[in-house]
Structure 1
Amino acid sequence: MLADGTPLLGRRTGIGRYTASLADALASLVDVRLVGFTARGWRGLRSAVPAGTRAVGPPLPARLLRACWARGSFPPVELLAGRADVVHGTNFVLPPPLRARGVVTVHDLAFLDDPRLADPDLPALARRSAQRAAVVCTPTAAVADAVSARWDVPRDGVVVTPLGVDRAWFDAAPPDPALRVHFGLPPEYLLFVGADGPRKGLDTLLRALAPDLPPLVIAGPGASRPADVARTGYLPDPVLRRVVAGASALVLPSRDEGFGLPALEALACGIPVVCSDIPALREVTAGHAALFPRDDVDALRDALREALSRPRDGADARRAHAARFTWRACAEATLEAYRRAVG
């Protein structure tokens, strides 16, 4: 199996973590070769692939490849990385195969409604990839329904492959005093995890803050730093787990999500989760988070107060729900998608 390993390069946010965790879990089930569609990061991919997988293919400029694939099916991926039964585009775009069967993961469709969220060529490339693929993978049924409806892809050609939670989240300890000082973490804090783009709803959260609520900490990349808000910047996973475990609540006020992994990881830590009532988050949290209508500042403030009034209630149930999501299960569901593609 050939898979796009390009998301493994650089700082790993959602799709990079998905690609790394999926490849790691798949390695015990199937031969995994990861190809990097990049010239600058080609050498780095050799050291970034999970154990049990291989990096293959020559250094190639990503922009040139995308320009070619936007116009047609040349060059086919087998010409770049060798023969395979299945080619998996892990990040919206399916590298065109010659004889292999194609599988593509579509994480969400937010960029269709807000072009600022993606490169200008992505909508056309992603749609063509979904329609060319033998099977489309999505992280939730909500995204599967949207892909089928908006791109005219048969619903039975879309397989839901829910993401997983690393076991380390269940044992995460709150930050120690040194870590608190280093990142300026107050004794109690609300936590927002992610980049502060328009679809994440951070502006709604900032307006919902009140004197009787804990201060806000933002864990993720971004330049803005509102008054009285601590920003940690990007955090590697071991540090992020501790910051999440020490929060009074995790808040995910998104306007759109494909899955919402930070919410599930916070549930694994047992802490309260407050998130917007949108299809993917409703599906993933399944009654274990406090939901509020998207963009409703007053409702978010009330939901935060309610969640913080009984922080330990339901902690065991939150952990038990998160434990149902494993990367092994994600890999097995993805392997079933491969079998369907070649079958």
Structure 2
Amino acid sequence: MRIALNARILQAPRTGIGHYVAELVSALAHEPDVELALFHGWGWSSVLPEAAMPGYSRLTPLLRQIPGAYQARRWLEQRRFDQNQTQGIDLYHEPSLWPLAFNGPTVITLHDLTHLHYPDTQPPARLREIERRLTDGVQRARLILTDSQYVADEAQACFGLPAERFVVAPLGVAARFRPRAPEAINQVLKAHGVEAREYFLCVGTLEPRKNLTLALRAHARLPETVRQRFPLLIAGMAGWQRDQFNDELRASLAAGQVCLLGYLPDEDLAQLLAGARALVFPSLYEGFGLPVLEAMASGTPVILTRHSAMPEVAADAGNYIEPDDPDTLRDAMTLLIDDPAHWQACREAGLQRAKLFSWERCAKVTARAYRQAMGD
């Protein structure tokens, strides 16, 4: 099977969907009947591009201010895409939103329905594009891949589609997310001024949906001596409405109790995850919650909300909190500090849980979906 896969998202710094595309492409290389042609917006390639870093494009903020810019870029991408449609493409896989037009079977990946649940967490221009294109793309797709059963169920209800149109392909965990000895990660930890197991870590783009203000408020309710010993590190790009954090951050940043790390290289983030006391992940809504899986695979306990798809990932290995109650998060953090037996039990449960997920499994389910969509 020759599969056209839209890999344009890999031009941006890799967050959740970008990592999904990169890992899936690598894993599909081991499927003997799958040949990928990667479309990167302006042309085609057979190899993954290097991961971009923040600042990769200064045009994106400008495009948001130009009327019709999204539509113009879309038209150009469609023209480029059409140039290769006659070159033996059997199926088109759109791994994110807004599939291009293709005269053949199409499979899309629907990661979540954030725009329906939390429209205020999307920049207005992006929200308009989602609303214009997503419904049509879902209706045209032969099959719809989802990362979780939760998203499959809510998409069935939202779009009025039968269950057989959906295939659940849980995400995997990259090899870099693994337990590490303190001496193996000391250099990265030292660069950020922390010691192994003596900091909490948040991972995610700084945007409202990630609910990072809850982490800030909970951490601020810890005793002063505890905040000094166990600072809160926040790793992620500056997202939409980052200014919302200014009030909560100012005092904690000045005291050295909270540190904004920005977007980190993959290996640095993996080492920080392996060394944290716990991952704090208070997100309001996730179609999967990849950092939760990555933390568990790294031997680090997770604190998370029992909302959306996240319990499918963490199951009994998670420390669950209420998304609007900083006291429950403070108590969960305190327990993981004060009770070594509880911390160790959470670590072991997470390691066992993470073994159930792999990119190889995700690729096999995806390849079967390709065959099914082609009628084999």
| TM-score tier (shorter) | 0.7 to 0.9
**Structure-2 residue corresponding to 1:166:** 174
- Alignment identity in percent? 34
Residues in 1 aligned to 2:185 and 2:288: alpha-carbon distance in whole angstroms: 30
Deviation at 1:35, TM superposition (A): 0.5
Secondary structure at the counterpart of residue 213 of structure 2: helix
**Structure-2 residue corresponding to 1:108:** 112
Q: 1:79 to 1:10 in 2, by over 3 A?
A: same
Secondary structure at the counterpart of residue 178 of structure 1: helix
Question: Would you tell me which structure has more helix in proportion to its own residues?
Answer: 2
**Structure-1 residue corresponding to 2:88:** 83
Per-residue CA deviations over 1:100-154 (Å, capped at 9, x if unaligned) read 2000011111122315425121122122111110000110011111111112222
- 2:219 corresponds to 1:185: no
Matches within 5 A, 1:183-332: 183-185=192-194, 188-209=198-219, 210-211=222-223, 212=226, 214-222=230-238, 226=249, 227=253, 228-308=257-337, 309=339, 310-332=342-364
AA matched with 2:374: V
Residues in 2 aligned to 1:95 and 1:31: alpha-carbon distance in whole angstroms: 20
Deviation at 1:216, TM superposition (A): 0.4
**Structure-2 residue corresponding to 1:141:** 149
Which runs of 5 or more structure 1 residues have no equivalent in the other structure? 51-60
Q: Contact between 1:220 and 1:232, CA under 8 Å: does it hold in 2? A: yes
Q: 1:204 to 1:45 in 2, by over 3 A?
A: farther
Deviation at 1:176, TM superposition (A): 4.0
Residues in 2 aligned to 1:197 and 1:34: alpha-carbon distance in whole angstroms: 30
Residues in 2 aligned to 1:178 and 1:246: alpha-carbon distance in whole angstroms: 11
Q: 1:127 to 1:67 in 2, by over 3 A?
A: farther
Q: Please identify, of 189-198 and 106-115, the stretch whose mean Cα deviation from structure 2 is larger.
A: 106-115
AA matched with 2:95: T
Q: Contact between 2:179 and 2:274, CA under 8 Å: does it hold in 1? A: no
Residues in 2 aligned to 1:68 and 1:47: alpha-carbon distance in whole angstroms: 22
Q: Please identify, of 309-318 and 213-222, the stretch whose mean Cα deviation from structure 2 is larger.
A: 309-318
Per-residue CA deviations over 1:235-261 (Å, capped at 9, x if unaligned) read 121111110111000010000101101
Deviation at 1:204, TM superposition (A): 1.0
AA matched with 1:196: L
Q: Contact between 2:121 and 2:209, CA under 8 Å: does it hold in 1? A: no
AA matched with 1:149: A
Secondary structure at the counterpart of residue 317 of structure 2: coil
Q: Contact between 1:75 and 1:96, CA under 8 Å: does it hold in 2? A: no
Q: Contact between 2:316 and 2:349, CA under 8 Å: does it hold in 1? A: no
Q: Contact between 2:9 and 2:18, CA under 8 Å: does it hold in 1? A: yes
AA matched with 2:235: A
Secondary structure at the counterpart of residue 316 of structure 2: coil
Q: Please identify, of 136-145 and 314-323, the stretch whose mean Cα deviation from structure 2 is larger.
A: 314-323
Residues in 2 aligned to 1:49 and 1:331: alpha-carbon distance in whole angstroms: 21
Q: Contact between 1:255 and 1:278, CA under 8 Å: does it hold in 2? A: yes
TM (norm. structure 2) is 0.79
Secondary structure at the counterpart of residue 176 of structure 2: helix
Q: 1:279 to 1:43 in 2, by over 3 A?
A: closer
Secondary structure at the counterpart of residue 2 of structure 1: strand
Q: Contact between 2:41 and 2:80, CA under 8 Å: does it hold in 1? A: no
Deviation at 1:314, TM superposition (A): 3.7
Secondary structure at the counterpart of residue 84 of structure 1: coil
Deviation at 1:45, TM superposition (A): 9.2
Q: 1:131 to 1:28 in 2, by over 3 A?
A: same
Q: Contact between 1:165 and 1:323, CA under 8 Å: does it hold in 2? A: no
Matches within 5 A, 1:7-26: 7-26=9-28
Per-residue CA deviations over 1:236-289 (Å, capped at 9, x if unaligned) read 211111101110000100001011010101001111100011131111111111
Q: 1:43 to 1:331 in 2, by over 3 A?
A: closer
Q: 1:33 to 1:97 in 2, by over 3 A?
A: same
Name the Cα RMSD after superposition.
Answer: 2.6
Residues in 1 aligned to 2:162 and 2:120: alpha-carbon distance in whole angstroms: 25
Matched positions, count: 325
Deviation at 1:231, TM superposition (A): 1.6
Secondary structure at the counterpart of residue 170 of structure 1: coil
Which runs of 5 or more structure 2 residues have no equivalent in the other structure? 52-68
Residues in 1 aligned to 2:352 and 2:233: alpha-carbon distance in whole angstroms: 26
